[in-house]
């Protein structure tokens, strides 16, 4: 899903003659806020446990918090409005 998404972004850049894109702050914050909220309810976030799931900053960095069907729907077609394109 991630490779398909990246390829669609690259295709958009090629079609428009642009060379780069960077995510806008609002979509970045919204995605990470939802991800953190979901991960906080999972077994990886149980207080007192330590594993490679949690990085040095206390953030679960190895697992996703979304169902595949949700992630597929969200990542099927990039919303170029979520990016600064240059």
How many domains does the chain fold into? 1
CA dist 47 and 26 (Å) reads 29
29-84 residue pLDDT tens: 999 999 989 988 888 788 877 777 888 887 888 778 889 999 999 999 999 999 99
8-34 residue pLDDT tens: 999 999 999 999 999 999 999 999 999
> Max alpha carbon distance in the chain (Å)?
51
Domain that holds residue 34: 2-85
Tell which residue, 37, 86, 44, 82, has the closest CA to residue 63: 44
């Amino acid at each position: 899903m991630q490779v398909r998404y990246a390829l669609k972004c690259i295709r958009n850049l090629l079609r428009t003659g642009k060379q780069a894109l960077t995510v806008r702050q609002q979509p970045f914050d919204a995605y990470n806020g939802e991800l953190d909220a979901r991960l906080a309810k999972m077994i990886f976030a149980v207080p007192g446990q330590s594993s490679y799931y949690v990085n040095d900053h206390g953030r679960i960095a190895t697992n996703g918090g979304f169902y595949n069907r949700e992630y597929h729907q969200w990542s099927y077609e990039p919303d170029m409005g979520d990016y600064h394109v240059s």
